[in-house]
Amino acid sequence: MTPETERTLELDSKYHAPLYRRLKICLVKGSGTRVWDSEGREYLDCVAGIAVNNVGHCHPKVVEAIRRQAGEFIHCSNLYYIEPQARLAQKLVEMLPREIEKVFFCNSGTEAVEAALKLARKASGKPGIIAMEGSFHGRTFGSLSVTGQEKYRLSFEPLVPGVKFVKFGDLQSLANALDDTIGAVILEPIQGEGGIVVPPQGYLQSVREFCDENGLLLIFDEIQTGMGRTGAFLASQRIGVVPDIVCMAKGLGGGFPIGVMAARGEVMDSFQPGDHASTFGGNPLACAAALAALEVLEEEKLVEKARETGRWAMQKMEKIKLTHPSQVTDVRGLGLMLGLQMASERIAQEVFDQCLKERILVNRTAGTVIRLVPPLSISRDELSRAFSCIEQGLSSIR
């Protein structure tokens, strides 16, 4: 470890809040699917900032858009009209289902969820929310209140009241939770932090019907599943279900922080001036980055590539499961949102360690799941390298 790296670790330990379980790696540079640490070592990145760098690290178009906008105007409050913001709003609405007509800009996925919860309460006139066990929606009080994992919630209770948790994928559980206080249902089309959990076929369509029959608003958290990740701009578009409210962030800015809450026009119009706001939301720099990232998605056909590469990747993962049935209990995903369920946390950790040893960055989530959410530009050769390393890790376990 170089003195510079040691100094970074020392400063972080001394001055930064003790909130992260960091690997002893200091990343300093990225390009496409590769990143480099302060020691000069190169890694294949199959984490992509946790589904953020969908167009790859430091894509030239995104870099140039940020550089150009930074030289003109970095911040403008929402007391005034912002030209890049208006263009981005139009572009997003054109890419979203036709029923989704208006957007609100913020700075992160958590903020998008907070805006969605406030809008749902205002539009429905009811305080209650049905959320899913195993879900993850963020760490602020509102988003944490609808996150269905006790490990995130326990230290901060009491949280926002009126939330009922039901089993993801279970329609009867959903029906049993309904009462006259409930105004909305919130879920991820595919649970990310919960372990790449894909619902049963037809479940999301049935939830949509349930909400329509009972006068409930349906909120989709597409923060991780969106922006082409699953082989459509939104996972819900690939599945064929339109929510009333949708939250987006992560991959939208090409690596630059931005969040969006979008909704059907009549729902969004429940908001009045002053009901919600964001000082930095939709600032010129973030919007310029997002416009460039969306342009890259279209020009390089990355959404289509994610669909095709993801189909191939699922076949490769199925072969790994067949070869190691006692170690890999399930494989699942859609597009380039992929998970291999290991039989134990020990096996998952050993596979993770093997990948890190070979300088392939993967992520272990929900204890036993190896998650791969690489840049959408990743090649089959690069993914084959990652899968070979996973198999190597499995073969070495005794």
| Residues recognised as catalytic | 136, 221, 250
Backbone angles phi, psi at 226, to 5 degrees: -90, -175
Residue 195 to residue 66: CA distance in whole angstroms: 34
DSSP helix/strand/coil, 248: strand
The closest of 336, 260, 253, 321 to 288, measured between CA atoms, is 253
Which two three-digit tokens encode residue 197? Answer: 């959990």
The closest of 108, 178, 185 to 148, measured between CA atoms, is 185
Which two three-digit tokens encode residue 157? Answer: 């209770």
Determine how β-strand 245-248 pairs with β-strand 259-264: antiparallel
Give the strands of the sheet with 328-334, arranged side by side.
328-334, 337-342, 369-372, 363-365
Dihedral angle computed from the Cα positions of residues 148, 185, 145 and 221, in that order, rounded to the nearest 10 degrees: 80
C-alpha R_g of the chain: 21
The count of other CB atoms within 10 Å of the CB of residue 139 is 13
